[in-house]
């Protein structure tokens, strides 16, 4: 028996419903058709998996049965960027590189990044004027980009931030629109859109090269990620090509700053809508910090700030859709037989808002993460950082950065959404606030 699913057009399947409003479409599929839903995009069938046990089975327990294949558009782009299709690299390439990067994310290393995170947040606050209106999403992107460059690559990117963000925006929009609408003109045809896309790719490439040059000129620190990777590269018998090298750096930059910027942005939005949460946060900051800036050692004591972050990641998971997995052999999921080659979609946005696991799932209630309640949840009812061997390598980094930055900023400023400013999640590769986040910042006495 086939899993149930929404009817679609004979030729296009469900592509138009999915394109109109992906979040709404996938949520409705789950609520109407259950834990395994069959969806069709043109002639390609995908299965949306919604039950925590099935998600655990795909990501963890039977992960060897599923691969994370290169999706066509991003890999074409990597070809353009680097001259080879690195996203199609096999499992060994991934494993090897993950092991190389791991020491930079060790607990002790993360603690040493705390100081940089707070110092950069403070530097940003020094430029804020009491009462002014700012785009907080832009601010968070600037901040997290500078911090990731400094902590992981020992590089200062302040003068390039605006240009780089513009390039990344173009690339993300283009990738998303090519994935959902494959009937696009090839990038070689010089339309204005294609020219902009090529400009963005060139810009990103220049940026990565400049980062490597700057890092070398800085005399290569001992312990930042770039130094660790450089040492590992030099010790490798076969060596890593210059392109693999560039690709590695780009992945870490993008994964490391855009997601955390989004986590912080959505958190500011949610706090601004909940005076009780804001008051509890201020009370904690007063008790733990008493006016001084936080440091890494304060992280475990900023417990409520951590609950806020967790709850924000539940409602607005920056990685709202986990890159599809493909079944390597016939298997069974949720009582349905799946053929080898079946494409699996897992959507944290949908599962995180499932009323079977979360009371009043639409409400922002950090208290729901108090230890006793959280322990009752099935493990994969909540997975903003993925799971299994491909879980987020930057998990501890991101949690610490979110909590320390939130605390530094909330101690000095109150952020209020400008009345009437529309807030709407835009599901590109990451989940962004479609119109930015215009907020008025007021200095706290």
Question: What span, in angstroms and rounded, lies between the C-alpha atoms of 356 and 236?
Answer: 50
Nearer to ligand HEM, 13 or 51 (CB): 51
Token pair belonging to 374: 């959280």
Interaction site with ligand HEM (CB under 6 A): 68, 98, 148, 251-252, 255-256, 259-260, 263, 318-319, 322-323, 384-386, 390, 392-394, 397-398
Nearer to ligand HEM, 175 or 252 (CB): 252
Provide the Cα torsion 427, 377, 398, 322; round to 10°: -40
Nearer to ligand HEM, 251 or 274 (CB): 251
**Shortest approach of ligand HEM to residue 111 CB, angstroms?**
15
* Pairing status of strand 44-49 against strand 343-346: parallel
Which residue, judged by CB position, is nearest to ligand HEM in the bound state? Answer: 394
Question: What span, in angstroms and rounded, lies between the C-alpha atoms of 363 and 14?
Answer: 30
Q: Running DSSP on this structure, what letter comes out for residue 12?
A: T
Question: What span, in angstroms and rounded, lies between the C-alpha atoms of 170 and 200?
Answer: 6
- Going 188 to 191 to 194 to 196, the CA torsion angle's sign is positive
**Shortest approach of ligand HEM to residue 133 CB, angstroms?**
26
**Shortest approach of ligand HEM to residue 253 CB, angstroms?**
8
**Shortest approach of ligand HEM to residue 102 CB, angstroms?**
10
Candidates 5, 12, 10, 73; CA nearest to 33 is 5
Three-state SS for 364?
coil
Q: Tell me if 364 sits within 8 A of 274, measured CB to CB.
A: yes
**Shortest approach of ligand HEM to residue 318 CB, angstroms?**
4
Token pair belonging to 128: 């804020």
**Shortest approach of ligand HEM to residue 22 CB, angstroms?**
16
Nearer to ligand HEM, 232 or 416 (CB): 232
Token pair belonging to 158: 């302040």
Nearer to ligand HEM, 358 or 397 (CB): 397
Nearer to ligand HEM, 247 or 397 (CB): 397
**Shortest approach of ligand HEM to residue 328 CB, angstroms?**
16
Q: Tell me if 148 sits within 8 A of 253, measured CB to CB.
A: yes
Nearer to ligand HEM, 255 or 326 (CB): 255
Question: What span, in angstroms and rounded, lies between the C-alpha atoms of 17 and 381?
Answer: 26
Nearer to ligand HEM, 323 or 334 (CB): 323
Candidates 284, 225, 213; CA nearest to 249 is 225
Token pair belonging to 171: 């690339």
Nearer to ligand HEM, 114 or 318 (CB): 318
**Shortest approach of ligand HEM to residue 319 CB, angstroms?**
4
Nearer to ligand HEM, 197 or 245 (CB): 245
Candidates 141, 138, 159, 157; CA nearest to 149 is 157
Question: What span, in angstroms and rounded, lies between the C-alpha atoms of 385 and 306?
Answer: 15
Contacts of 26 (CB under 8 A, 6+ apart): 18, 48, 321, 345, 347, 349, 350
Angle at which helices 225-235 and 242-272 cross, to 10°: 160
**Shortest approach of ligand HEM to residue 324 CB, angstroms?**
8
**Shortest approach of ligand HEM to residue 53 CB, angstroms?**
17
Nearer to ligand HEM, 406 or 441 (CB): 406
Candidates 223, 208, 116; CA nearest to 157 is 208
**Shortest approach of ligand HEM to residue 364 CB, angstroms?**
17
């Amino acid at each position: 028996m086939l899993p149930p699913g929404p009817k679609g057009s004979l030729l296009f399947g469900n592509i138009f419903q999915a394109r109109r409003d992906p979040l709404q479409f996938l949520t409705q599929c789950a609520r109407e058709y259950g834990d395994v839903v069959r969806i069709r995009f043109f002639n390609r069938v995908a299965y949306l998996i919604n039950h925590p046990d099935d998600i655990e089975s795909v990501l963890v327990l039977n992960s060897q049965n599923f691969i994370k294949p290169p999706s066509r558009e991003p890999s074409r782009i990597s070809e353009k960027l680097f001259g080879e299709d690195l996203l199609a690299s096999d499992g060994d390439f991934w494993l090897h590189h993950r092991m190389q990067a791991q020491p930079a994310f060790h607990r002790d290393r993360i603690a040493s990044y705390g100081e940089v995170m707070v110092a950069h947040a403070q530097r940003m606050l020094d430029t804020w004027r009491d009462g002014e209106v700012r785009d907080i999403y832009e601010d968070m992107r600037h901040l997290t980009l500078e911090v990731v460059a400094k902590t992981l690559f020992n590089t200062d990117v302040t003068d390039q931030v605006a240009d780089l963000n513009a390039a990344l925006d173009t690339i993300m929009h283009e990738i998303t629109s090519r994935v959902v609408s494959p009937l696009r003109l090839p990038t070689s045809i010089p339309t204005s859109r294609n020219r902009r896309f090529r400009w963005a790719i060139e810009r990103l490439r220049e940026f990565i090269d400049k980062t490597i040059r700057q890092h070398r000129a800085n005399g290569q620190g001992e312990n930042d990620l770039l130094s660790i990777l450089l040492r590992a590269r030099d010790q490798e018998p076969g060596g890593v090509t210059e392109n693999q090298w560039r690709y590695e750096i780009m992945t870490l930059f993008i994964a490391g700053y855009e997601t955390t910027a989004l986590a912080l942005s959505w958190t500011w939005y949610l706090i601004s809508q909940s005076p009780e949460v804001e008051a509890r946060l201020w009370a904690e900051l007063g008790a733990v910090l008493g006016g001084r800036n936080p440091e890494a050692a304060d992280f475990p004591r900023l417990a409520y700030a951590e609950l806020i972050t967790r709850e924000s990641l539940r409602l607005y998971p920056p990685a709202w859709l986990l890159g599809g997995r493909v079944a390597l052999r016939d298997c069974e999921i949720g009582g349905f037989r799946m053929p080898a080659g079946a494409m699996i979609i897992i959507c944290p946005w949908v599962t995180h808002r499932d009323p079977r696991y979360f009371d009043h799932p639409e409400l922002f209630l950090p208290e729901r993460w108090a230890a006793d309640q959280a322990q009752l949840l099935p493990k994969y009812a909540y997975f903003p950082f993925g799971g299994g061997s491909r879980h987020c390598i930057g998990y501890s980094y991101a949690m610490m950065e979110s909590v320390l930055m939130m605390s530094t900023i909330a101690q000095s400023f109150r952020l209020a959404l400008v009345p009437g400013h529309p807030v709407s999640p835009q599901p590109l590769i990451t989940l962004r606030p479609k119109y930015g986040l215009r907020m008025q910042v007021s200095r706290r006495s």
